[in-house]
């Protein structure tokens, strides 16, 4: 997977790049990351973003932090819902027009590798409009995304 430092400017996919988009959770083997605890409310809301990914790629990324990574996309379960992780991204709206871009593997990183994202991202997840709401959909379209909302997939 591609590593990007937290809060650096996002430019991974030109199709999904907009002003004030910052990277979060692009972890990789050999790179340090903050370890800590997060509230269950944060995990529950982060999962809602993972249920509505933004760009879905043709391939997938394996977790470079696992000693025995899954073959194929990692299947993650939360609240009795399963999703394949490692093949798409999420978008979270923050303060002052900031948009956070994270791989959907962030859910696995937080829950299984105890990754603690920067506080401003945690606050954004806790306060942002949620995917699958009119406000979130409107904000995505304001970014210039024409094909929003995306088709359902797992």
> What are the tens digits of pLDDT across the range 29-66?
999 999 999 999 999 999 999 998 886 666 678 889 99
Q: Please give the model's pTM, rounded to 2 decimal places.
A: 0.90
Report pLDDT for 147: 66
C-beta contacts of 135-143 below 8 A and 24+ residues apart? 136/93, 139/93, 140/54, 140/91, 143/18, 143/99
Report pLDDT for 150: 67
Q: Is 108 helix (H, G, I), strand (E, B) or coil?
A: helix
Distance (Å, rounded) from C-alpha 36 to C-alpha 29? 18
The two most distant CA atoms of the chain are separated, in Å, by 41
Once rounded to an integer, what is the mean pLDDT over residues 118-131?
Answer: 98
């Amino acid at each position: 997977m591609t590593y990007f430092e937290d809060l650096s400017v996002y430019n991974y996919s030109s199709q999904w790049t907009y002003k004030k988009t910052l990277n979060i959770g692009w972890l990789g083997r050999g790179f340090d990351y903050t370890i800590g605890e997060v509230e269950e409310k944060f995990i529950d809301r982060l999962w809602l973003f993972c249920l509505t990914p933004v760009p879905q790629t043709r391939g997938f990324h394996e977790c470079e932090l696992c000693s025995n990574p899954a073959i194929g996309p990692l299947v993650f379960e939360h609240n009795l819902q399963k999703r394949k992780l490692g093949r798409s991204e999420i978008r979270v709206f923050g303060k002052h027009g900031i948009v956070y871009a994270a791989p959907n593997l962030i859910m696995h990183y937080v829950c299984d590798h105890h990754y603690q994202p920067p506080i401003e991202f945690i606050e954004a997840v806790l306060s942002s409009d949620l995917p699958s709401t009119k406000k979130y959909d409107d904000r995505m379209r304001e970014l210039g995304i024409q094909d929003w909302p995306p088709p359902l997939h797992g």
